[in-house]
């Protein structure tokens, strides 16, 4: 009792009763993509736990970095957050040397939300059925088009890594998110792409597109017939597309702690877990959900992708930033 009573006395003024109004979660891509889907599933539960409306705001452009820059510049009061991910807070610094933000320094980490396997998918009419066949096709036909959600996005970084490992090239076509990119694949306007399983699993099950491989250490129970990249002969093509909540730097500890606790409740809720696992998402255990754990993860991912993409990207592939 004494400890509980002491908490309000040391709380940051104005934040003891957080939240008292609507919270906005910025999503760096278009509606319908994997980051948007994850944000809406988790955001609905956050709203119930926190007792305030949670609005999803889709801000597109520059592989998600336009949204991340906007979130960085928002007031650090806990009412504007971003559903960041491997692209905005991992691979973007390798693609944008003059990125306006530092993923590790300009955000207050809240918690890791989910990790998603990445698939290599192709339109049914492309004459390939396996990952080695795709590599050979790209070698012979560099005009083959690859759809992605913008430079530095998960889809762009993943396919860039794949082509670097295979020593091949394609003709890249950017979109405002993997939702629009997948639609282009379905319509035959692009030939292949690297996509999070949550975005494409229904289309694969329906036979509308073809999954060539999964960039993970093991097959997915959701798509057990899809081989891993290692099984296909590319063991270095192993990617976890993660999503996480961040607030602007200097957000007081009270909102961060409240949001982290609410996120933990969401990830432990049977209905949320069912929705995310049905989409082949991997929910992090409690030990990986803390703000400190997420901060370490961002540091590691930035270094990892700078190492992976430094030699893969030609100078004209690197961008000035949003």
pLDDT of residue 2: 25
pLDDT band for 250, please (50, 70, 90 cuts): very high
State the residue for tokens 């009412």: 79
Q: Which of these ranges, 53-57, 113-117, 175-179, has the smallest mean pLDDT?
A: 175-179
- For the beta carbon of residue 206, count every other beta carbon within 10 angstroms: 8
The string of DSSP letters for 182-238 reads: HHHHHTTSSSEEEEEHHHHHHHHHTTSEEEEEE-SSS-BTTBTTSPBTTTTT-TT--
pTM above 0.85, yes or no: yes
pLDDT of residue 97: 87
pLDDT at 35 over 50: yes
pLDDT of residue 50: 98
> In this structure, what token pair is assigned to residue 82?
């971003």
**CA pair distance 240, 222, nearest whole angstrom:** 16
Let me know whether 229 and 132 are in one domain.
Answer: yes
Q: For the segment 217-244, what is each residue's pLDDT rounded down to a tens digit?
A: 999 999 999 999 999 999 999 998 999 9
The string of DSSP letters for 2-71 reads: HHHHHHHHHSPTT-TT---S-EEEEESS-TTSHHHHHHHHHHHHHHHHHTS-EEEEE---GGGHHHHHHH
Let me know whether 215 and 272 are in one domain.
Answer: no
pLDDT at 159 over 60: yes
Question: Does residue 168 belong to any structural domain of this protein?
Answer: yes
Question: Does residue 1 belong to any structural domain of this protein?
Answer: no
**Last-in-domain residue among 189, 219, 239:** 239
Let me know whether 121 and 206 are in one domain.
Answer: yes
pLDDT band for 4, please (50, 70, 90 cuts): very low
Q: What is the DSSP letter of 286?
A: G
**Which residues, 6+ apart, have CB-to-CB distance to 57 below 8 Å?**
24, 25, 26, 27
Let me know whether 123 and 108 are in one domain.
Answer: no
Let me know whether 169 and 148 are in one domain.
Answer: yes
pLDDT of residue 12: 52
Let me know whether 180 and 164 are in one domain.
Answer: yes
Q: How deeply is 307 buried, as exposed, middle or buried, from its count of CB atoms within 10 A (0-12, 13-18, 19+)?
A: exposed
Let me know whether 164 and 224 are in one domain.
Answer: yes
pLDDT of residue 18: 97
Let me know whether 245 and 107 are in one domain.
Answer: yes
Q: For the segment 83-121, what is each residue's pLDDT rounded down to a tens digit?
A: 999 999 999 999 998 999 999 999 999 999 999 999 999
Which string of b and e fits 141-178 if b means at least 16 CB within 10 Å? eeebbbbbbbbbbbbbbbbbbbbbbbebbbebebbbbb
Let me know whether 227 and 251 are in one domain.
Answer: no
**CA pair distance 122, 120, nearest whole angstrom:** 7
Question: Does residue 3 belong to any structural domain of this protein?
Answer: no
State the residue for tokens 């998600």: 64
pLDDT at 14 over 70: no
Let me know whether 162 and 182 are in one domain.
Answer: yes
* Three-class secondary structure assignment of 84-117: EEHHHHHHHHHHCCCCCCCCCCCEEEEEEEEEEE
Let me know whether 133 and 51 are in one domain.
Answer: no
Task: Report how many domains make up the chain.
Answer: 2
Length of the chain in residues, anyone? 322
pLDDT band for 320, please (50, 70, 90 cuts): very low
Query: Rounded to a whole number, what is the distance in angstroms from the first to the last CA of the chain?
Result: 50
Question: Does residue 208 belong to any structural domain of this protein?
Answer: yes
Q: How far is CA 267 from the centre of its chain?
A: 17
Residue pair 104/298 in contact (Cβ under 8 Å)? The answer is yes
Residue 84 β-bridge partners: 244
- The CATH code of the domain that includes 184 is 3.40.190.10
Domain extent at residue 153: 117-239
Let me know whether 256 and 297 are in one domain.
Answer: yes
């Amino acid at each position: 009792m004494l400890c509980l009573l002491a908490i309000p006395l040391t709380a940051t003024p104005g934040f003891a009763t957080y939240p008292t109004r609507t919270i906005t979660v910025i999503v760096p891509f278009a509606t319908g993509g994997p980051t948007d889907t994850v944000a809406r599933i988790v955001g609905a539960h956050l709203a119930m736990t926190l007792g305030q409306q949670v609005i999803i705001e889709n801000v597109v452009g520059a592989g998600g970095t336009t949204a991340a820059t906007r979130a960085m510049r928002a007031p650090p009061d806990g009412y504007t957050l971003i559903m960041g991910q491997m692209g905005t807070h991992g691979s973007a610094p390798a693609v944008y040397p003059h990125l306006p933000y530092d993923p590790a320094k300009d955000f207050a980490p809240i918690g890791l939300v989910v990790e998603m396997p990445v698939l290599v998918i192709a339109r049914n009419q492309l004459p390939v059925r396996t990952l080695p066949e795709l590599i050979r096709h790209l070698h012979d036909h560099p005009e083959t088009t690859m759809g992605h959600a913008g430079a530095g996005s998960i889809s762009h970084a993943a396919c860039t890594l794949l082509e670097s490992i295979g020593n091949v090239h394609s003709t890249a076509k950017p979109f405002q998110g993997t939702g629009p990119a997948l639609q282009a694949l379905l319509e035959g306007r692009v030939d292949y792409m690297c996509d999070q399983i949550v975005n494409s699993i229904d289309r694969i099950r329906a036979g509308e597109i073809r999954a060539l491989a999964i960039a993970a250490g093991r097959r997915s129970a959701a798509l057990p017939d899809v081989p891993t990249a290692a099984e296909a002969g590319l063991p270095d093509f192993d990617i976890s597309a993660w999503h996480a909540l961040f607030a602007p730097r200097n957000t007081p500890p009270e909102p961060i702690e409240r949001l982290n606790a609410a996120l933990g409740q969401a990830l432990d809720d049977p209905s949320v877990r069912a929705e995310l696992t049905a989409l082949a998402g991997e929910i992090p255990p409690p030990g990986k959900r803390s703000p400190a754990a997420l901060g370490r993860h961002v540091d590691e991912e930035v270094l990892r992708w700078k190492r992976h993409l430094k030699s893969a990207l030609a100078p004209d592939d690197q961008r000035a930033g949003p």
